[in-house]
Amino acid sequence: MKKLVSIFMVLTLLLSFAACSDNKNNESSSSAPQQSSNQNSTSSEESNSQNDSSAPTETDSKSLVVYFSWSGNTENVAKSIQSQTDSDIFEIVPSTPYSDDYDTVLDLAQEEQRSNARPAISGSIESIEQYDVIYVGFPNWWGDMPMILYTFFDTYDLSGKTVALFCTSGGSGLSNTVNEVKGLEPNATVTDGLQIGSSSASNPDDAVSEWLNNIGLAK
C-alpha cells in the first residue's frame, strides 16, 4: 500500500513539473519581439534603396572642350584645357577640308566672311545638354572667328551654360568675339576669354591654368 502511495506521489510530481515546463516555453515564445509587417516593409525598402545604383546622387558639373584648329596651335591649347579640367573634347572638322596652304586658306576665310558662309561640320555632339560648361576654341582669322564657328553656334543652343572662349592668333587676340558670342548665345554666361599667341601655343599650360583660376573654373 505504501509503495502504491509513493508511486502515485511521484507520478503527480512529474506531471506538475511537465505542466510548468510547458507554461514557461509558451511564455518564452509569446514574449519574443516580432517585427510588424510595416517594419518589415520599411527595412526592405531601405535595403533596396541602399542597393539601388540608379538612385540619384550629386555629381560634379560636366564640361566639354570644343575646338577648331587649322595649324595645330588651337588643338594644343584645347588639350591643355581638357587635361586641367577633366573635360570631354570635340574637334570641329569641316565636311570640306581646308587647304594646307596658308595663303589659300586665308583667302578662303576672307571669302567666307564676305558671304556670311556657314561651312558644314562633319559629325555632331551627342547630348550636349549634359554639359554645364563649354570651352570653345578657334584661331583668329581676319579679326573674327572662322565662319565654321558660326555654324557651331547656330546648331547648338547653349542656354543656361557657361561658355568660355579661347583663341590663338598672331596678334589680333580675341578681337570682338566675346561680345559676338554673347549675342549669338544670349541665355548663356560668357566668361572672359583666353588669347594665346602663336609663338606660345606649343606650351600653353601656365597661361591656361592662370585663366581657369581667373574665371573660377579651375579644378
pLDDT for residue 60: 59
pLDDT for residue 19: 43
Sequence-ordered list of residues with C-beta below 8 angstroms from that of 122, at least 6 positions apart, any chain: 93, 94, 95
Instruction: Give the integer Cα–Cα distance in Å for 36 and 42.
Output: 10
Instruction: Please check whether residue 75 lies inside any domain of the structure.
Output: yes
Exposed, middle or buried by CB within 10 Å (0-12, 13-18, 19+), for 131?
buried
**For the chain, what percent of residues have pLDDT higher than 90?**
69
pLDDT for residue 61: 65
pTM: 0.73
Instruction: Please check whether residue 47 lies inside any domain of the structure.
Output: no
pLDDT for residue 3: 44
Cβ atoms of residues 196 and 167 within 8 Å: yes
pLDDT for residue 23: 42
The backbone torsions φ and ψ at residue 214, rounded to the nearest 5 degrees and listed phi first, read -65, -35
Instruction: Please check whether residue 97 lies inside any domain of the structure.
Output: yes
Q: Which structural domain, as residue segments, surrounds residue 211?
A: 63-215
CATH number of the domain to which 195 belongs:
3.40.50.360
Instruction: Please check whether residue 210 lies inside any domain of the structure.
Output: yes
Instruction: Please check whether residue 204 lies inside any domain of the structure.
Output: yes
pLDDT for residue 171: 85
Instruction: Please check whether residue 147 lies inside any domain of the structure.
Output: yes
**What's the total number of domains in the chain?**
1
